[in-house]
């Protein structure tokens, strides 16, 4: 299925897959590409999302070495002409099959962790409520780089667990400090969560924002439209400098709406 990988990212996906195989060895079961690369088109600052599944939890030293190695083939969004930001999640089958919520992840790699990773700080395995959302995405739309199709390997996440994960996710965004420097992503994440709360499905950031713009009350539309335009590479990101009040108002409104939708089901 690797021939379905978008050509613009195929070399980086191949490099990441080879590195993952080398570090995880015989315990590696599958690598799935998901997210913007397969469900909504890559935008200028889109990550490359990879879900890695292993038979059992790798040793701490293995995970630490893998995270350090990934730094060399990933770059912060927009900082490199050749590399995109990688986001890699490692799961052990024994902790997700049979499904339970919250599920445990063994490793999370992403550019927001670069400073810590370069200092040798690697997050330990932990329970992660967001895995209910992630696995729903992967089962719904992904490309197996290695191993079987996702729906042949991973069990479906019950709607109730997905609902709980949505509520847990929006509960973390309370004050401006919670979204400082990440305004665009959180606004678009809320659009996606809102879409899922209404439909039970998963949409790309662009698609979810377009969907919500058709339904959103007028005062909240400009900042969502702005975040979408920034994501699409059409405008500069000045949300923090010039739109802080609108951002806070949108986040509060979206959170309340999502909590009302998800909490009532």
Q: Which residues are catalytic?
A: 87
The number of beta carbons lying within 10 Å of the beta carbon of residue 31 is: 24
- What's the token pair of residue 88? 């890699």
Rounded to whole angstroms, how far apart are CA atoms 75 and 83?
Answer: 6
Residue 16 CB contacts under 8 Å (≥ 6 apart), including other chains:
48, 50, 70, 73, 74, 86, 88
Nearest CA among 76, 74, 12, 9 for reference residue 38: 9
Asked whether the beta carbons of 130 and 189 are under 8 A apart, the reply is no
- What's the token pair of residue 262? 């998800």
Please state whether beta strands 126-128 and 103-105 pair in parallel, antiparallel, or not at all (unpaired).
Answer: antiparallel
Please list, residue by residue across 60-84, b when 16 or more beta carbons sit within 10 angstroms of its beta carbon and e when fewer do. Answer: eebbbebbebbeebbbeeeeeeebb
Kind and range of the H or E element at 46? none
Whole-Å CA distances, 256 to 25, 90, 163, 218: 45, 32, 14, 17
């Amino acid at each position: 299925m690797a021939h379905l990988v978008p050509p613009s990212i195929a070399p980086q996906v191949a490099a990441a897959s080879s590195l993952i195989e080398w570090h995880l060895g015989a315990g590696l079961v599958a690598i799935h590409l998901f997210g913007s690369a397969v469900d909504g088109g890559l935008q200028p600052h889109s990550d490359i999302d990879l879900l890695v599944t292993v038979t059992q939890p790798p040793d701490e030293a293995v995970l630490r070495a893998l995270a350090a190695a990934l730094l060399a083939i990933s770059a912060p969004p927009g900082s490199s002409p050749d590399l995109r930001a990688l986001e890699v999640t490692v799961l052990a089958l024994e902790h997700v099959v049979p499904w339970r919520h919250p599920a445990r992840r063994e490793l999370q790699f992403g550019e927001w962790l670069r400073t810590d990773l370069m200092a040798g700080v690697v997050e330990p395995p932990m329970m992660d409520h967001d895995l209910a959302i992630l696995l729903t995405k992967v089962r719904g739309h992904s490309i197996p780089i290695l191993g079987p199709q996702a729906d042949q390997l991973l069990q479906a996440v019950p709607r109730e667990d997905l609902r709980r994960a949505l509520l847990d996710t929006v509960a973390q965004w309370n004050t401006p400090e919670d979204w400082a420097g990440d305004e665009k992503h959180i606004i678009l994440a809320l659009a996606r969560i809102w879409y899922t709360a209404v439909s039970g499905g998963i949409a790309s950031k662009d698609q979810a924002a377009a969907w919500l713009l058709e339904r959103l009350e007028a005062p909240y539309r400009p900042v969502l439209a702005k975040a979408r335009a920034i994501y699409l590479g059409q405008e500069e990101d000045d949300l923090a400098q010039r739109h802080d009040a609108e951002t806070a108002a949108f986040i509060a409104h979206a959170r309340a709406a999502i909590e009302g939708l998800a909490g009532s089901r």
